[in-house]
């Protein structure tokens, strides 16, 4: 379980200060899909980067079980990113000179180096026939499926996805969201950032964010199926 408490983040560029997050509070649980919903510039990526240990809050705390991540050393934070967090970005961020299989294997090597799991994941995302291809030989949807398999290779407790279908068409988006939802388990909490309110009802919890503040948190005891989303 992850708890973020009174998180604020101020970016300072020269004399200009941007208050990107203002006193944010929420919890993330395993076996739940949490959707962070808000318009562009509202602070979604900042929140996700802090959750993923890629950035630190200006004030406030992040708890991961008994650990207080926000107080840890850079070394401990690196360990958290390696072992606990899987990250899926809008533009995939694959290593362009490694094949599909190799992109997934390097992530597995950071933790368990479990080849069986690498094989299972390649199957799960439906890329058996593409595993020796390089990223620039794939479609956007295929690249995102590699990125998801890579994020899952280390069996993350926290799967963080920043606008994962922002560059994809609706049919492909549906497949990606299904994979993300299926990745949620008693061991893995899934957090998806989106500006698309149509997607929100697939989540168990929706954190609405606006101008760096949480405007509402809704719990959703009956999430809709991904196939019911109106992608219009
Ligand atoms: N590195 C940065 N330096 C200065 N301002 C930033 C930086 N990153 C984000 N911001 C600002 O913080 C606010 C929130 O940004 P962000 O978290 O990227 O929003 P979102 O992901 O919801 O579009 C915006 O006003 C943005 O311009
Ligand atoms: Mg963003």
Which amino acid residue places its CA nearest to atom 14 of ligand 1?
43
Rounded distance from Cα 167 to ligand 1 centre (Å): 19
Q: Give me the DSSP letters along 7-36.
A: EEEEEEETTEEEEEEEEEEEEE-TT-EEEE
Domain map (residue ranges) of the chain: 2-84+156-228, 95-155
Mean pLDDT of the region 78-107: 96
* DSSP assigned state of 185: B
Mean pLDDT of the region 158-164: 97
Res 224: pLDDT: 97
Ligand 1 site residues (CB inside 6 A) read 11, 13, 18, 20, 38, 40-46
Mean pLDDT of the region 78-96: 95
Q: Which ligand 1 atom sits nearest the alpha carbon of residue 38?
A: 22
Distances (CA, A) of 150 to 104, 121, 131: 4, 8, 12
> Which residue shows structure tokens 């989303």?
229
Given ligand 1 and candidates 20, 52, 89, which is best to mutate, with the most ligand atoms within 8 Å of its CB?
20
Which amino acid residue places its CA nearest to atom 3 of ligand 1?
11
Res 15: pLDDT: 94
- Angle at CA 92, nearest 5°, toward 91 and 95? 120
Average pLDDT, the chain: 95
Q: Which chain residues have CB less than 5 Å from ligand 2, an ion?
A: 45
Res 32: pLDDT: 97
Instruction: Kindly state the percentage of the chain with pLDDT values over 90.
Output: 95
Rounded distance from Cα 20 to ligand 1 centre (Å): 6
> CATH says 2-84+156-228 is which class?
alpha beta
Res 230: pLDDT: 92
Res 10: pLDDT: 98
Report residue 66's pLDDT band, with 50, 70 and 90 as the boundaries.
confident
Which amino acid residue places its CA nearest to atom 13 of ligand 1?
20
In this predicted model, what pLDDT tens digit does every residue of 172-217 receive, in sequence order?
Answer: 999 999 999 999 999 999 999 999 999 999 999 999 999 999 999 9
């Amino acid at each position: 379980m992850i708890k973020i408490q009174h998180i604020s983040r101020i970016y300072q560029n020269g004399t200009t200060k941007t208050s990107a997050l203002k006193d944010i509070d929420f919890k993330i649980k395993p076996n739940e899909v949490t959707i962070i919903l808000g318009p562009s510039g509202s602070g979604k990526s900042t929140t996700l980067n802090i959750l993923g240990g890629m950035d630190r809050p200006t004030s406030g705390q992040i708890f991961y079980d008994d650990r207080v991540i926000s107080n840890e050393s850079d070394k401990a934070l690196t360990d958290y990113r390696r072992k606990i967090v899987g990250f899926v970005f809008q533009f995939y961020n694959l290593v362009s000179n490694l094949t599909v299989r190799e992109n997934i294997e390097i992530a597995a090597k950071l933790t368990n180096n479990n080849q069986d799991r690498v094989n299972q994941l390649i199957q799960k995302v439906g890329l058996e026939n593409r595993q020796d291809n390089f990223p620039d030989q794939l479609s956007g949807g295929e690249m995102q499926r590699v990125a998801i398999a890579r994020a899952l290779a280390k069996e993350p407790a926290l799967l963080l996805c920043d606008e994962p279908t922002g560059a994809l068409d609706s049919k492909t988006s549906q497949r990606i969201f299904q994979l993300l939802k299926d990745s949620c388990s008693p061991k893995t909490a899934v957090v998806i950032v989106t500006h698309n309110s149509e997607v929100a009802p697939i989540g168990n919890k929706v954190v609405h964010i606006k101008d760096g503040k949480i405007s509402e948190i809704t719990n959703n005891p009956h999430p809709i199926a991904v196939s019911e989303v109106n992608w219009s």
